[in-house]
Amino acid sequence: MSQKTPLTASRKRAAHPDFIPTFSLSALRNRLPFLFPVPENLPPSPKRHYRSQYRYLGADDLAHLTTLHNLTLFEIALRLIDFSPLRDYFAQFYVQSARGQVPFDPLSLFLCACLRRERHLGWRTLAKLLAGEHGAGWRRLFGFSDGDTPSASGLRYFFDLVGAEVFEELCPLFADLLHQASLLPEHGTFPGDPAGRGVTISHDLMLHEARSNMKCAQVSASCYQPAPRPCLAKEAGQAGCDCREPACAQVCRRATPLDPEARYMHYEGRNKDADVDRQDNSRGRDVYGYLSNPDRLLDDRFACAWTLRTGLYPANADERNLFPHSFTHLQARFPWLLIGEVLADAALGFQGCLDAIWEAGALRMVDIRADRCDRDAEAQLRRGYNEKGHPLCIHGYAMRSNGYDYQRRRTKWLCGKRCLKDPERTIPDCPYLAPEHQHGQVTNVGRTLPDGSVRLAREVPYGSKTWKTRYGRRNFSESRNGAMEGMDLKRLPSFGRPRCRKEVAVGDFLDNLRTLSRLVGEATSLALKITTS
C-alpha cells in the first residue's frame, strides 16, 4: 500500500501492538461477561414474577471464526455483556399490584426495543418477528417462551412508559462498564502528547428531521397557545395566519401539534460570517426538527470513538446555552475523567463555550467562527492578530509559533525579524530589530489574544499542520452521524421530542455496542489467524 494512501480504521487498529492484547477474546475471556453497571442504591423491582426471563447465555461460540463472522454486531454484544442488572433499572416504572396479567421481563422488552432499531422495524413487524419461526433465536436470547411473546401494543407501551432520561443514561453507564473493564483510555492517546494530558472529547452536532412535516418556518411556542396569539411569520413579512378560524382556537393550524418542540433551521454546511442572515441564503438545506449534540471520547490507538453523553433539542437551540451546561454535567458525571482536549466545529466558537473548555484545562480545538472584521487588514493590525488568530508584529507581519508551554498554558509567538527577509519592502524603523531582542518581537497567547479577545485564541496555531492533524480526528467522531442515518434516525420515526429523545439514545447506545463488538471481532479474528498461520 502506498505511503500516501491513508490507512483505514481497521488497518490502524491491526497495526497497533496493544490491539490484540486489549480486545481479543482470549485477552477478555477471564473477565467475561461484562456485568452492565447500574446506579447505586437501586431499589428492587416492584414485581416478583415475569412472563419472560432474560438470562446471559455465554460466549463460547465466539471462539470459532466461522461463527464470529456469521453473527451480527448486536448478537456479539449479547455474548459479551450480561444485561441482568438492568432488569431492576427498567422495572422502576412498573407498579406493584396483584391484579392483572403478569408482565414481561422489562429487560426482555428493552432488548426488543434495541432489536427494533437494529433491524429498522416497526412495532408490528417486530412483534411478528418475535412470534414467528425466524424469531426463535431472538426469543432464546431475550428470554421469551415459544408462543408467549409481546404484542405490538405491549412493546410500544413499554417504550412510552420508560422516561427519556432512563434511556439517555445508558451511554454514561456503558462508559462506566468500559472504564471498569480498563477498555476506556484515561489519558490522551494522540501520538506525542505529554503523559499527563487528558483524553480527547469531540462535541458534534447532528440535525434530525421531525416526523411531522413543516407547515410554517416561524413556528414557536406561542403558536401552541390559545388564540389570540402573536404571529412571528407575519412579523417577518410573510403570509402567516390570522388564527381566526375554529381550527386555530387552541393551536395554530400551521403548527405541528404532534411535534410541538420541533423548530426550523437553515444549515449552511460551512462556516459563514456571523452577521449574515442564513435563512435568506439559498445554499445549504432546510431542516425542521431537532438537534442532537453528543459528547464522544476519541481513542487514537484504535481509531474509534465512544459516546459518553447524548441529548436532543429543538433544531434552532443555541449551543452557547447548551454546551456549558452539558460540559459541566459531563465533568460531574465522570469525575475520574481527565479532559485534555475538546474538538468541535464553529458552533462552539463563543466565549462562554471556549472559556468552559479553558477552565477544564483542555486544548480548545474548536473551529474558528468567522466575522466580517476578519477581512479588514487595518482592523487586524489595530487589534494585533489576523483572521486565524495568529499575532501580528507592529508592522503587520504574521508571527510564527515557537511552541506551547503546557505548564504556563500559553503559546509563544515570535516575529523572527521577518521584515529583514522581505525584499519587496524597505526595512522599517523597528525597536525589535535591536540586538538585545534576539528573536524580535515576542507575544504570548494564553486564554486570550493581546486585545483580550477569546474568539480566535487557540493553543494550537489554527490552520497549521499540527492543527489539521489533530482536528482531522473528528472523522472518528463524525462516523456516529453515518451510523445514526444507517439506523433510520436521520428523520426520526416517532412523534414528539420525549419519544425522539429515546430513539436517539437507543441509537447511540447501539452504536457503542457495535463499536465494542467490532473491536472484539477484529482483534479475535487477527489472533486466530496468527495462531493458525
pLDDT at 356: 97
Q: Look up residue 130 and give its DSSP letter.
A: H
Helices (H), 411-490: 465-471, 474-486
CA angle 412, 415, 417 (to 5 degrees): 145
- Closest residue by Cα to residue 36 from 94, 75, 80: 80
Rounded to an integer, what distance in angstroms lies between the CA atom of residue 277 and that of residue 283?
A: 12
Q: Look up residue 8 and give its DSSP letter.
A: P
Cβ–Cβ under 8 Å, residues 233 and 376: no
pLDDT tens string 476-526: 877 899 999 999 999 999 999 999 999 999 999 999 999 999 999 999 999
Mean pLDDT, residues 210-229 taken together: 93
pLDDT tens string 164-175: 999 999 999 999
Alpha carbon separation from 247 to 243, 255, 444 (Å, rounded): 8, 11, 63
Helices (H), 231-284: 232-235
- Closest residue by Cα to residue 476 from 241, 302, 282: 302
Report which secondary-structure segment, H or E, holds 444: strand 442-445
pLDDT at 531: 81
Q: Which three-class secondary structure state does DSSP give residue 489? A: coil
pLDDT at 275: 42
pLDDT at 421: 86
Work out the percent of the chain whose per-residue pLDDT is above 70.
95
Q: Which three-class secondary structure state does DSSP give residue 309? A: strand
pLDDT tens string 42-80: 998 888 899 999 999 999 888 787 888 899 999 999 999
Cβ–Cβ under 8 Å, residues 405 and 459: no
Q: Does residue 324 register a pLDDT over 60? A: yes
Q: Which three cell numbers stand for residue 454?
A: 477569546
Which of left, alpha, beta for 236 (phi over 0: left; psi -120 to 50: alpha)? alpha
Split at pLDDT 50, 70, 90, the class of 280 is very low
pLDDT tens string 417-460: 989 888 888 888 899 999 999 999 999 999 999 899 999 999 99
pLDDT tens string 131-188: 999 999 999 999 999 999 999 999 999 999 999 999 999 999 999 999 999 999 989 9
Q: Does residue 247 register a pLDDT over 90? A: no
Matching residue, cell 475538546: 342
- Closest residue by Cα to residue 87 from 103, 75, 71: 103
pLDDT at 94: 82
Split at pLDDT 50, 70, 90, the class of 100 is low
Rounded to an integer, what distance in angstroms lies between the CA atom of residue 108 and that of residue 273?
A: 51
- Closest residue by Cα to residue 50 from 161, 167, 145: 145
Alpha carbon separation from 435 to 30, 93, 293, 415 (Å, rounded): 67, 76, 53, 14
| Beta strand pairing call for 199-203 and 339-344 | parallel
Mean pLDDT, residues 356-372 taken together: 94
Per-position DSSP letters for 83-128, written without gaps between them: -TTHHHHHHTTS---SSSPPPPPHHHHHHHHHHHHHTT--HHHHHH
Q: Which three cell numbers stand for residue 9?
A: 480504521
